[in-house]
Amino acid sequence: MARSSARGTTPRPIVPRATGKVNLVQFVGEVISELKKATWPTREETIRLTYIVLLISASVGLFLWGVDKGFFEMFRTLVFR
């Protein structure tokens, strides 16, 4: 294995430095360009997916309420016998 010519030093990775300057016009232009490339859902898809999210949220809420109620009753019977 070849040895490095400078002993005891390891090469540091080259990291580009941030200048702190942002070209706002270019940034907004790039954002608009990327948003045009996006595939947006139709109104029907949005409504259907909203219903699905609400249904799942309500189901998880009811499940967690049931678990909480069960633990509360268990704790109450064990502590306050």
Helix, coil or strand: residue 77: helix
Q: How many domains does the chain have?
A: 1
Which tokens hold the place of 40?
């947006």
Q: What is the pLDDT of residues 10-29, one digit of tens each?
A: 777 777 666 667 788 999 99
Q: What is the pLDDT of residues 58-75, one digit of tens each?
A: 999 999 999 999 999 999
pLDDT at 57 over 60: yes
In-domain check, residue 27 = no
In-domain check, residue 79 = yes
In-domain check, residue 71 = yes
In-domain check, residue 10 = no
pLDDT of the residue at 11: 76
Give the whole-angstrom CA distance, residue 6 versus residue 76. 71
In-domain check, residue 49 = yes
pLDDT of the residue at 70: 96
Angle at 9 between CA 4 and CA 12, to 5 degrees: 105
In-domain check, residue 30 = no
pLDDT at 9 over 80: no
Which amino acid would we find at residue 29? G
Residue numbers of the domain that contains 77: 41-81
What is the residue-averaged pLDDT of the chain?
87
The CA–CA distances, whole Å, from 63 to 48, 59, 60, 66, 67 equal: 23, 6, 5, 5, 6
What is the distance of C-alpha 50 from the center of its chain?
19
